[in-house]
Amino acid sequence: MARIVHYINQFFAGVGGEDQAGAGPVLLEGPAGPGRRLAELVAPEHEIVATVWCGDDVAADKVDEIVGLVRSVDPDLVVAGPAFTSGRYGLACARVVAAAHSVGVASVASMHEDNPGLDEAGAAAVVASGEVARRMAPSLERLAAGIQRLLAGETLTAEDGRIGAAARLTVVTDDNAATRAVDLALARLGGDSAATEIPLPRFDRVTPAAPVADASTVMLALVSEGGLVVADNPDGLESARATKWLRYPLEDRDALAAGDYMSVHGGFSTAWANEDPHRILPLDAARELEAEGAIGELLGEYFVTTGNGTSVANARRFGVEWAADLRRSGARAAILTAT
Amino acid sequence: MALTRLVHQVREVGFGQRTSFADGVLTVSADEARGVLADEALASVQLSWVSPGQSARIVKVLDAVEPRSKGPGGGGIFPGFVGPARPQGGGETHVLRGATVVTAGFLPRAQEALVDLSGPAAALSPLGATHNLVVEFTPAEGAPWERVDAALRRGALRLAAALAEASLDAAPDAVEELPSPSAGARGGDLPRIGVVTNLQTQGSFKDVFVYGRSFGAGLPTLLDPGELDDGAVVSGQFGHPALKNPTFMHQNHPVVDELRRRHGNDVEFAGLVICPEPVEQGAKELISLFAAKVCAAAGFDAAIVTKEGGGNADADVALKMDALVDLGIQPVGLYAEMAGADGTGPSVVVAPERATAMVSTGNYDHVLHLPEMEKAYGGEQFALVKAPAAASFEVPTAVVYCALSPLGWGRIAARSG
């Protein structure tokens, strides 16, 4: 019998609504809420041994804590949702299954294909739910079928209601890419207008934040993907494919002297950046604006990474971490210098 | 213009008193080679043969060159560097197939590349299956890096020409008569397919040379494929190890090879167009429109579009594909995907808007587990993972030399699973 842990939010756990959105995470023994029906659907082969719930406002930031609770009962599989079209809940479900999957725990989430959390599930499987909670019963049936297949060692496909990006997996081909390119050109000229090896990508569209109403009262932050680090790069920021970001102090500093800072960015010649580091991080101009009172104050540190060949997943994580950090430190505007 | 390749297969290599080639054995005089490489920007050079099957790794790989010669003194090979800058691509060219001259070591802006001669990464690089004469170097004190780079480039090309010169009197293992495209003229009913090859031109250490000159300020032009054979295109581009096109790959351009092989069977080889690949968007747009115009003038029905470099260079392919569609020419783009280690990220940085036919050369971020090697060349450390160069470590496919070859050499792809 496989051991399953179910992740749900505070509402479906029966704890409360928005008033409890900041609570949790909490580990409960056995199934709860929609988990009771799900437990019936996967029995007798499998058992929901525990439920973890967390409030919608905090869950997406407490994924490590949630996954810690999940792993404390040593499950064979983690299931999250159904989250329908609920954005915060969907994001939490997606991040929980992504994190569990990345540490080797079989995982599946359930949400509607329009849920904004869908893209955050990484390589973990997501199966489609209905649009609203009224569709709970059929959504749970599909989820239960997916659980059975995953626990049988099979992979979920579109036939199982799987949604979201399919992973691009490396395969060895019989012919080299040059031969395949000529074959593809002939197929297209022969009238096969759909033939391709790469499906068209789907890009995020980010809605810019509203302008700051009165800059003279806000704390401004300087952040950059230009690879500007202190001399000799003691923290080892990568020149490409960054896996991390760094923070360096700006307090008591009015300028960035050449020689004290350097750019490690691998995507452009860094000669001009090293000659005058303000070309990457305009501390000189920011201090002038601060002195004039055009901005309220400058944050006492800057954040930096290298935006060269950096994976979208890492870049998204850096963005989430920067936004949360800036919000906590009181910054309400940021200048992101890009190269 | 017709070119004949006289191919000498190199089966065994070594060092000896004098440089010679006989019965598949290439012997190199290290003293002669050091003389050829001598330059005031280089304090010293060190030479090693590194061969397939050895427990060996080459790190900090810069350029690789296939030894070729057209006659005594090179006979015009590598025009603009070894021979005079005059059109080449006709007559006979001797090729030492199975051998390379490889430069390895630190240069600014060079992103760290590796080649394994055994283990799982050996099959991912063309240099995993060749006998490689590795040139390591110590720069002269105070020599500017640009001078060091130029000395290595000229030296490696001269050495490659000198090695091939040893084969001029040997009977070739194969004689390859290479058809030349007939630009603009339709020879029959077969579809006319050509190739558009972008050469990365982004300043020092990320530059490509045509007839000895940086192609940075150039416009797209037709080149006879035989000119590639004779070394008219030379790489000085050391970014993006898996996505670079060293001189060796231009000499053995896989799409050119394929179109030559199929010419008269199921395609008519319509021609080769080379294009610079600048950083600035306006220049990318001009060059893309111009390239499509050249393809139309040469009567292409379809064009295979190749790039060099990372995400920025996706834009050059995408813009050209759309420009070709607008002129009624079917484009196919060769794209390396950047889908993240788990394959779930958006895999193309810049996709075309109107064109949709793309071939995958694999996932840049796919993780490889490399075994420990007995010996490493090119440097003590592999800085990316801060490990001794010969150690066992995990790296993305992106660091393996030519593993995602934008010219179509590789036999890997990414598929939706």
The pLDDT of residue A114 is 83
**What is the arithmetic mean of pLDDT over A187-211?**
85
Distance from CA of B415 to the nearest CA of A (A): 5
Residues paired with B210 in a beta bridge: B213, B233
pLDDT at A311 over 90: no
B326 or A121, which is more confident:
B326
Contact list in A for residue B407 (CB cut-off 8 A) is 178
How many whole angstroms separate alpha carbon A16 and alpha carbon A19?
A: 7
Tokens of A5: 């842990």
pLDDT at A313 over 70: no
C-alpha separations of A283 from A220, A251, A301, A337, B346 in Å: 11, 11, 11, 11, 34
Confidence of residue A327 (pLDDT cuts 50, 70, 90): confident
| Residues 6+ away with beta carbon under 8 Å from A129 | A81, A82, A83, A84, A110, A111, A112, A135, A139, A142, A143
pLDDT at A204 over 70: no
Count of other CB atoms within 10 angstroms of residue B20: 15
Contacts of residues A155-163 at CB distance under 8 Å and 24 or more positions apart, as own/partner, are: A155/B417, A156/A108, A156/A125, A156/A127, A160/A127, A161/A127, A161/A128, A162/A125, A162/A126, A162/A127, A162/A128, A163/A113, A163/A118, A163/A126, A163/A127, A163/A128
- The phi-psi region of residue B236 (left if phi > 0; otherwise alpha if psi is between -120 and 50; otherwise beta) is alpha
Confidence of residue B344 (pLDDT cuts 50, 70, 90): confident
Crossing angle between the packed helical segments A136-151 and A35-42, to the nearest 10 degrees: 50
Q: Report strand pairing: A261-263 vs A162-163.
A: unpaired
Say whether A202 sits in a helix, a strand or coil.
coil
**What is the arithmetic mean of pLDDT over B313-338?**
97
Tokens of A97: 């299954």
In the block, tokens 């893209």 appear at: A119
Confidence of residue B212 (pLDDT cuts 50, 70, 90): very high
Element at B7 (helix H, strand E): strand B3-9
CATH 3.40.50 residue spans of chain A: 2-163
| Residues 6+ away with beta carbon under 8 Å from B70 | B76, B77, B83, B88, B91, B92, B93, B94, B230
**What is the arithmetic mean of pLDDT over B128-155?**
98
pLDDT at A105 over 70: yes
Say whether A332 sits in a helix, a strand or coil.
strand
List all residues of chain B from 189 to 218 with a beta carbon under 8 Å from chain A: 191, 193, 202-206
In the block, tokens 């021979």 appear at: B83
Count of other CB atoms within 10 angstroms of residue A72: 12
Distance from CA of B360 to the nearest CA of A (A): 6
Quickly list DSSP for B335-388.
EEE---TTS-S---SS--SS---EEEEEETT-EEEEPP-SEEES-SEEGGGTEE
The pLDDT of residue B172 is 98
The pLDDT of residue A203 is 66
Contact list in B for residue A170 (CB cut-off 8 A) is 343, 362-363, 366, 397, 412-414
Confidence of residue B103 (pLDDT cuts 50, 70, 90): very high
Using a pLDDT cut of 90, give the percent of chain B over it: 91
Distance from CA of A167 to the nearest CA of B (A): 4
Q: Report strand pairing: A219-224 vs A228-230.
A: unpaired
The pLDDT of residue B158 is 98
CB A27 within 8 A of CB A69: yes
CB B387 within 8 A of CB B381: yes
Contact list in B for residue A194 (CB cut-off 8 A) is 356
Confidence of residue B184 (pLDDT cuts 50, 70, 90): low
Which of A185, A238, A314 is nearest residue B332 as measured by Cβ atoms? A185
pLDDT at B183 over 70: no
- When scoring A176, A232, A269 by the number of chain B Cβ atoms within 10 A, the one with the most, hence best to mutate, is A176
pLDDT at A208 over 90: no
How many whole angstroms separate alpha carbon B273 and alpha carbon B197?
A: 6
Lowest mean pLDDT among A47-51, A64-68, A325-329: A325-329
**What is the arithmetic mean of pLDDT over B190-215?**
96
Say which CATH architecture domain A2-163 belongs to.
Answer: 3-Layer(aba) Sandwich (3.40)
Q: Which residue of B has its CA nearest to A182?
A: B304
Quickly list DSSP for B87-141.
----EEEEEEETEEEEEES--TTPPP-EEESSSTTGGGSGGGGSEEEEEEEEEPT
C-alpha separations of B291 from A73, A147, A187, A194, B284 in Å: 62, 53, 23, 25, 10
For residue A166, what is the DSSP state? P
Q: Is the peptide bond before B406 cis (omega within 30 degrees of 0)?
A: no
Q: Where are the domains positioned within chain B?
A: 3-399
Of B278, B271, B256, B244, the C-alpha closest to B187 is B271
How many whole angstroms separate alpha carbon B406 and alpha carbon B119?
A: 23
List all residues of chain A from 225 to 254 with a beta carbon under 8 Å from chain B: 236, 238-241
CA atoms B170, B176, B177, B178: torsion sign: negative
**HSE-CB of B197 using CA atoms within 13 angstroms:** 29
Say whether A291 sits in a helix, a strand or coil.
helix
Element at A58 (helix H, strand E): helix A56-59
Distance from CA of B33 to the nearest CA of A (A): 32
**CB pair distance less than 8 Å for B357 and A177:** no
| Residues 6+ away with beta carbon under 8 Å from B151 | B37, B39, B40, B41, B42
pLDDT at A92 over 90: yes
CA B397 to chain centre: 17
CB B136 within 8 A of CB B104: yes
pLDDT at A202 over 70: no
What size, in residues, is chain A? Answer: 339
Q: Is the peptide bond before A25 cis (omega within 30 degrees of 0)?
A: yes
Q: pTM of the prediction?
A: 0.80
**What is the arithmetic mean of pLDDT over B61-77?**
97
CB B251 within 8 A of CB B88: no
Residue B301 sits at the chain A interface (C-beta within 8 Å): yes
pLDDT at B111 over 70: yes
pLDDT at A144 over 80: yes
CB B399 within 8 A of CB B384: yes
Residue A205 sits at the chain B interface (C-beta within 8 Å): no
Distance from CA of B49 to the nearest CA of A (A): 28
Count of other CB atoms within 10 angstroms of residue B38: 12
Residues paired with A107 in a beta bridge: A78
